[in-house]
């Protein structure tokens, strides 16, 4: 795994003039991929050198939202009809840089891949019910990093609107308004 000094994303983060920034928050930046595989293909990265999604903790939510915003901007700015958000955890999954990132692929009508889901790289498998039962048994109670407590706290904070630290506070208030009809416990399940 490359160190921070050799990390291409960290280098680009330090030289923003080398990137076409689409959106930015305190902790994340989204810019156009220089080797795009779609019009408006965007990469979202944390400004800190973070090597795994687990290390992001509750910030994962903010990262996901920055990706969503990039997709929405492709819809309103480029006329995309939709978008796919992809992230790959681990080299085996295709993570090519050890600084976590999400990819946003705007989707357009009339393109060759129209209607093909991003997960289409996986071929259907023939499985018996007993296979699914075995897999389920191994996954259902398997361990994982649980950030749900912190996530809930973030939404409770936003609802209370009692943050006082400038830009961040405005963002959270906005987020609170946007999510005022949203059940935060369901949101945590969704993530």
CA 139 to CA 122: how far, in whole Å?
20
- Residue 57, token pair as written in the block: 């903790």
Quote the least distance from Cβ 147 to Zn ion, whole Å.
Answer: 21
Specify the stretch interacting with Zn ion by CB under 5 A; choose among 20-28, 62-70, 97-105, 122-130: 97-105
Specify the stretch interacting with Zn ion by CB under 5 A; choose among 25-33, 95-103, 157-165, 168-176: 95-103
Q: Are 186 and 152 in contact (CB under 8 A)?
A: no
Tell me how far the alpha carbon of residue 191 is from its chain's centroid. 10
Candidates 23, 29, 41, 49: give the one binding Zn ion (CB under 5 A).
Answer: 49
Candidates 43, 99, 151, 158: give the one binding Zn ion (CB under 5 A).
Answer: 99
CA 191 to CA 181: how far, in whole Å?
17
Q: Output phi, psi for 43, to 5 deg.
A: -115, 135
Residues 102-131 that bind Zn ion (CB under 5 A): none
Quote the least distance from Cβ 67 to Zn ion, whole Å.
Answer: 18
- Catalog residues that contact Zn ion under the rule CB under 5 A: 7, 9-10, 49, 99
């Amino acid at each position: 795994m490359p160190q921070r000094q050799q990390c291409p994303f960290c280098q680009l983060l330090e030289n923003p003039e080398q990137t076409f920034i689409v959106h930015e928050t305190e902790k994340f930046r989204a810019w156009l991929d220089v080797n795009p595989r779609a019009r408006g293909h965007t990469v979202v990265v944390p400004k800190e050198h973070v090597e795994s999604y687990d290390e992001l903790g509750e910030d994962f939510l903010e990262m996901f939202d920055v990706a969503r915003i990039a997709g929405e901007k492709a819809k309103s700015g480029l006329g995309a009809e939709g978008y796919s958000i992809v992230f790959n955890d681990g080299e085996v999954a295709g993570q090519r840089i050890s600084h976590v990132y999400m990819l946003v692929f705007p989707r357009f009508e009339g393109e060759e891949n129209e209607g093909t889901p991003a997960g289409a790289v996986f071929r259907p498998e023939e499985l018996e019910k007993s296979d699914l039962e075995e897999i389920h048994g191994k996954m259902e109670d398997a361990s994982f990093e649980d950030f749900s407590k912190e996530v809930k706290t973030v939404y409770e904070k936003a609802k209370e609107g009692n943050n006082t630290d400038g830009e961040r506070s405005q963002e959270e208030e906005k987020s609170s308004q946007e999510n005022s009809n949203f059940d935060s416990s369901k949101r945590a399940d969704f993530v």
